[in-house]
Structure 1
Amino acid sequence: MMQRVSPVQKNFGLADDELIRHLMLQSGVYKPLSRDDVRLDTDNLDSSQVDNQTVTDNQTNPEFHINQQFKEALSLYESKDFENAYHLFEELADKGLIPGLYYQAIMIYDGKGAEENAAVGFALMQKVYEMSLISPVDVEFRHLACYHLGNACAQGYGTSRSEELAVSWWQRAANEILFDPHKNVEKQVVTDAGVLCQTAMGSYYSRCSKPEGADYTKAFYWHSEAARNGNISSVAQMGMFYLYGLGCQKSSALAHEHLLLAGTRNNICAIGHIALYYLENNMAESAYSWAVRAADIVGNLKGLDAGKVDTIIRQVTSSSANRGDEEDTKRSLAMSLFILGYLYETGRDCVARGRYTAADYYSAASKIDLDAVLFLGNRLKLGRSA
């Protein structure tokens, strides 16, 4: 019952992306200088002389000034002073520095601080990838470039639309962080952006846009790699695969394990499916406790319309635990509301029976995702109050 995922946004959109904050000083070029980086003969110096000497050496070190300029540019960027931030990033890019070029590409692509030009932004991001191939300290930026170039190709924004090219970009980074059991754990290369590419690969293969349909075997493989690397969205997808036997042998125990792990980490996609798991295993109270979380997110059922649904989905999928899972989030919310309707219709131990309350939940579920309602109505053989 996996559904096509929504297309990516038509921008690189990292102004509010917490991932980028983790990268602020990750490049080797921008790591702050510590006292260990400064070679001093400290045997004949007291502590104040060492401190003064360190300050002097920092002030005359070109890398120190680059570091300060980069931090200033980031500060301006995060405070939404995009024009001044762009000029500083452009200066860094002109010096051949990958992080500066990366931000320049983002800002031109998104039209922040510079005239929007998706094609130029795409070309600059390609340059980020090419330059980072010979820079081992900037592997994260290479993988970020792969992720965003893949998204741009999938959307056809700044370049011609091509799912095949999108996959080729994602796979470059995804392959670089594949788990190798023969390697020492400390030598395993894992980047946040590389994991996002693995999840994107899994989502691509679970879609039905290809003539031959979804390839759940490949989807399972890539989501399992991303889940191994800690991506909660992929953990949730693994739970769904095990629950419905998609690309793997059906396993109720493994489905529960993965869905529970994702749900406890606020992945909304997992909630509807774990509520269904508990309901079908005669644990109505547990099903209710999970499904009601979705009701809390939706809020007032009476005022629910398409505009409010879109707002809710955007808010939910802006978090790292639910990144980009628009369609699956809709489905999970609808499933949760439908299950609440089912519980009120049947009057299970956890709630008093109420046909009107059940009808409200069924109606709200239908407004969010009618396909999910039809799926559950058929699976549970109920829903007659809607």
Structure 2
Amino acid sequence: MSFCQHTEKGRITKKAMKLTSEPLPQKHSRETILQTVSKLHSSESEELKWLANPETYNHELLLEKAESLLEKRIKAGDPLASFLKGQLYFEEGWYEEALLQFEQNTDFQSMYQLGVMYYDGLGVPPNPKKGVEYMEKIINSNSPKARHLKFAAAYNLGRAYIEGCGTEISEEEAERLWFIAADHGNPKASIKAQTALGMLYSARHPKDLKKAFFWHSEACGNGSIESQGILGLMYLYGHGVPQNLKAALECLNQASDRGNVYAKGHLVEYYYKRKFFTKAAEFARRVTENDDVEGIAKATGCLPFYIARGLAMASFYMARCLQLGLGTQQDLVAAKKYYSKACRLDPDTAADLELMANHGRI
């Protein structure tokens, strides 16, 4: 029985490289805007006490008080407060209000956020060309105040060139910009760029898996859970590095524990192919409980393409276990539901797995 149909080929190059913007770099930390506001030095110390113990207030009240304090500082001529107000709106998802605030400012952080918002269409119709122009202004600036933004801006510009959005498609220019953004594996540079270089070398023709392994190793060492999962697969199949099952499972399990759904899907496949059917079924059931691809992407920073693929893999093997009664009680009705879920999440992956099953390869 056929559950899915094949779609376009070459999907990894086109879909997997659909990248997301680099979050606004913070000079000192990744704290939320409410935490930042609470640390502002002010003679109005009494007004700051409400943030010292925020659990005594609900979120709406905290926002109201933060907005009020920032308004006072803006009227007093504090340029940082003007940016912080826009960032407060941005973090709350109030993009139209954030856009209006950032457009009133002249600082580089506001400029960066405007670039992201115009490119991605947040609070405004998408205008990738205008987004690219903002990022170019940051990269070309000699101001010390733009320095901490340049790695992220270079990553975003590379993204524009690889997607051909806001500028012409140029893999070479994307590669050049990502080299700048990755800064030889510097942990304070763009980790997204380091992962992107690993993906680029895996996707281009011919592949350069040794370079891909190098960059995924750098990104993984700097905290990328996406690169950690990909490293696990490179070790598992001996791509760009000698095959090493111990290292593969270590990477896949650690990435899985940190929320990498692509790694989870491959672990389900690993258990199933080695006939650990009970473990495969139990794990697949847990993995597929949450199939909110966009929500997972936002929480983990992983690409939706890989999340959907991991969920489709787990769903397919869950269906296979239910259909054949492997590691769980046979249930053909439930099996059909999981097959349908796999097809909905990623038709290509489901079709590939179905083809393998029909040929007795799984």
- TM-aligned CA deviation for residue 271 of structure 1: 1.2
**Equivalence map 1:350-369=2 (5 Å):** 350-367=327-344, 368-369=346-347
1:190 corresponds to which of 161, 183, 188: 188
TM-score, normalised via structure 1 length: 0.69
Higher RCO (Cα < 8 Å, 6 or more apart): 2
Across the aligned residues of Structure 1 and Structure 2, the Cα RMSD in angstroms comes to: 3.9
- TM-aligned CA deviation for residue 82 of structure 1: 4.8
- TM-aligned CA deviation for residue 344 of structure 1: 2.6
The range that moved more, 238-247 or 365-374, is 365-374
- TM-aligned CA deviation for residue 333 of structure 1: 1.8
TM-score, normalised via structure 2 length: 0.74
Amino acid at match of 2:316: F
Amino acid at match of 2:78: H
Question: For residues 81 and 316 of structure 1, what CA distance do their matches in structure 2 show?
Answer: 21
Question: For residues 238 and 247 of structure 1, what CA distance do their matches in structure 2 show?
Answer: 10
Aligned to 1:75: 88
**Equivalence map 1:60-139=2 (5 Å):** 65-79=78-92, 82=95, 85-93=98-106, 97-110=107-120, 117-131=127-141, 135=144, 138-139=146-147
Cα 1:268/1:156, change in 2 over 3 Å: same
Q: Please say if 1:199 is aligned against 2:177.
A: no
Aligned to 1:152: 160
Query: Is the contact made by 2:116 and 2:131 (CA closer than 8 Å) also made in structure 1?
Result: yes
> How many residue pairs get matched?
322
Cα 1:342/1:111, change in 2 over 3 Å: closer
Question: For residues 347 and 79 of structure 1, what CA distance do their matches in structure 2 show?
Answer: 47
1:159-202: CA deviation from partner (whole Å, max 9, x where unpaired): 11222212211111112544xxxxxxxxxx524xx101111111
Amino acid at match of 1:296: E
Select the structure of larger CA radius of gyration.
1
Question: For residues 176 and 163 of structure 2, what CA distance do their matches in structure 1 show?
Answer: 14
Query: Is the contact made by 2:99 and 2:123 (CA closer than 8 Å) also made in structure 1?
Result: yes
Question: For residues 64 and 31 of structure 1, what CA distance do their matches in structure 2 show?
Answer: 19
Aligned to 2:321: 343
Question: For residues 176 and 31 of structure 2, what CA distance do their matches in structure 1 show?
Answer: 24
Cα 1:360/1:83, change in 2 over 3 Å: closer
Query: Is the contact made by 1:74 and 1:85 (CA closer than 8 Å) also made in structure 2?
Result: yes
Q: Secondary structure at the match of 1:248?
A: coil
Q: Secondary structure at the match of 1:3?
A: helix
1:229-265: CA deviation from partner (whole Å, max 9, x where unpaired): 0110111111111122211111211111111111111
Q: Which runs of 5+ in 1 are unaligned?
A: 39-46, 49-58, 179-188, 299-311
Q: Secondary structure at the match of 1:247?
A: coil
Question: For residues 198 and 74 of structure 1, what CA distance do their matches in structure 2 show?
Answer: 26
Question: For residues 338 and 115 of structure 1, what CA distance do their matches in structure 2 show?
Answer: 38
Question: For residues 138 and 278 of structure 1, what CA distance do their matches in structure 2 show?
Answer: 49
Question: For residues 174 and 274 of structure 2, what CA distance do their matches in structure 1 show?
Answer: 40
Amino acid at match of 1:336: A
Question: For residues 84 and 355 of structure 1, what CA distance do their matches in structure 2 show?
Answer: 51
Q: Which runs of 5+ in 2 are unaligned?
A: 1-9, 47-71
Query: Is the contact made by 1:110 and 1:118 (CA closer than 8 Å) also made in structure 2?
Result: yes
Question: For residues 383 and 366 of structure 1, what CA distance do their matches in structure 2 show?
Answer: 19
* Identical pairs, percent: 26
